[in-house]
């Protein structure tokens, strides 16, 4: 697959502060790539460097083969950007905004269709300063799509949106993917990243701590799948006696599964033992569990990825 974003050894410093400390990743055409990290990790700095809004201190960056800082004029014809804290002219309407963008980009755009795509048709002729925060975001997404971009950078596109509006933006992102566009997504909602992304990078204190498909990251950094059986406290002793790693409480037991077959064997053992039990379930860690563990560990200082003192942006 084509590499539409190539980042090698990217560094960004603000005076003595290092916001991004040498990171590498690539984004392929037609994929949704989520870039995750806690506040101040260097996310927005990285995105803004890719969008050509900030210069880098070191490393190489190519978006669609172009240097975003020196070749922005050519690049912005081919990318769409929803920046963080999107604002527009207070006395302009969404329809006027889309029309202005279309004319500047030299595109013929069906304004109603585009605004309908982000569920903003009923507010098409209202002034920006009368719209809600969520409606602002929707207009930002619409403007990012005006020039039919090959790569779309969406920095927290669903922040402040209600669940229904969030789903409509998800649908826009899925549509872009289906159309073969690349989406570079930054979000605080990890379930959103897990649901939408083909690949993910997690950045913390200016360094990448994990990159890969969501399931790969969960498999690599998450705890093993667990089987929970509700029943009496005597189950704990019985299973431990058979050599299983068991954690028990008053409501039942939890057993770490090394293989899928473990679940069948354990349930058969319990059933044959005659001990009382009522139900069972399996529990798999989510991306959020993994994210919190990865970033939390770093925050606690128990995992060191480098010996330089990194300062968040």
Residues that bind other proteins (CB under 8 A): 48, 51-55, 72-73, 76-77, 81, 83, 85-92, 96, 100-101, 103-106, 127
Minimum Å distance from CB 79 to other proteins? 8
Question: Which residue, 159 or 273, has its beta carbon nearer to other proteins?
Answer: 159
> In 68-120, which ranges are continuous DSSP H helix?
72-75, 94-105, 111-117
What is the smallest separation between the CB atom of 25 and other proteins, expressed in angstroms? 22
The residue (of 23 and 81) whose beta carbon lies closer to other proteins is 81
Residue 69 CB-density burial (10 A; 0-12 exposed, 13-18 middle, 19+ buried): middle
- With respect to other proteins, which residue has the nearer C-beta, 92 or 121? 92
Listed in sequence order, the residues at least 6 apart from 279 whose beta carbon sits closer than 8 Å to its beta carbon are 229, 230
Are the beta carbons of 254 and 246 closer than 8 angstroms? yes
Of the pair 79, 257, the CB lying nearest other proteins is at 79
Q: Residue 131 — φ and ψ, nearest 5°?
A: -85, 155
Closest approach, Cβ 46 to other proteins, in A, equals 14
85 vs 110, which CB is nearer to other proteins? Answer: 85
Report the nearest approach of other proteins to the CB of residue 147 (Å): 9
DSSP string over 189-214: -HHHHHHH-SEEEEEETTEEEEEE-H
Of 157, 236, 175, 189, the residue nearest 30 (C-alpha): 175
Tell me the closest approach of the beta carbon of residue 85 to other proteins, in angstroms: 6
In the complex, minimum distance from the CB of residue 123 to other proteins, in angstroms, rounded to a whole number? 17
Tokens of 313: 């942006």
Q: Which is nearer to other proteins, 92 or 286 (CB)?
A: 92
- Between CA 308 and CA 313 the distance in angstroms is 15
Radius of gyration from C-alpha coordinates of the chain: 24
Question: What kind and span of H or E run contains 136?
Answer: helix 133-145
For residue 282, the minimal CB distance to other proteins (Å) is 46
Judged by beta carbon, residue 147 or residue 201, the one nearer other proteins is: 147
For residue 108, what are its two tokens?
A: 């013929």
List Cβ<8 Å contacts ≥24 apart for 262-265: 262/227, 263/227
């Amino acid at each position: 697959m084509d590499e539409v974003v190539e980042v090698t050894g990217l560094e960004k410093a603000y005076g003595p502060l290092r916001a991004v400390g040498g990171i590498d990743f690539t984004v392929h055409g037609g994929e949704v790539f989520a870039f995750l990290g806690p506040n101040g990790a260097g996310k927005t700095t990285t995105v803004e460097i890719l969008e050509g809004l900030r210069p880098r201190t070191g490393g190489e960056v190519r978006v669609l083969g172009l240097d975003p800082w020196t070749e922005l004029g050519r690049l912005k014809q081919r990318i769409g950007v929803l920046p963080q804290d999107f604002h527009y002219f207070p006395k302009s309407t969404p329809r006027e905004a889309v029309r202005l963008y279309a004319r500047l980009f030299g595109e013929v755009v069906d304004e109603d269709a585009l605004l309908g795509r982000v569920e903003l048709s009923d507010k098409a002729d209202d002034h920006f300063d009368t719209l809600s925060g969520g409606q602002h975001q929707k207009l930002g997404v619409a403007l990012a799509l005006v020039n039919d971009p090959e790569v779309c950078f969406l920095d927290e596109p669903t922040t402040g949106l209600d669940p229904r509006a969030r789903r409509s933006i998800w649908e826009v992102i899925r549509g872009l993917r289906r159309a073969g566009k690349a989406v570079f997504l930054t979000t605080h909602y990890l379930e959103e990243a897990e649901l939408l992304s083909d690949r993910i990078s997690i950045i913390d204190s200016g360094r990448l701590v994990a990159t890969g498909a969501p399931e790969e990251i969960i498999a690599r950094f998450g705890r093993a799948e667990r089987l929970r059986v509700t029943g009496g406290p005597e189950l704990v002793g019985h299973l431990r006696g058979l050599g299983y790693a068991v954690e028990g409480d008053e409501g039942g037991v939890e057993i770490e599964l090394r293989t899928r077959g473990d679940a069948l064997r354990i349930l058969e053992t319990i059933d044959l033992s005659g001990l009382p039990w009522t139900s069972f379930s399996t529990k798999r860690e989510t991306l959020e569990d993994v994210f919190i563990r990865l970033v939390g560990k770093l925050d606690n200082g128990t995992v060191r990825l480098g010996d330089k003192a990194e300062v968040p942006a």
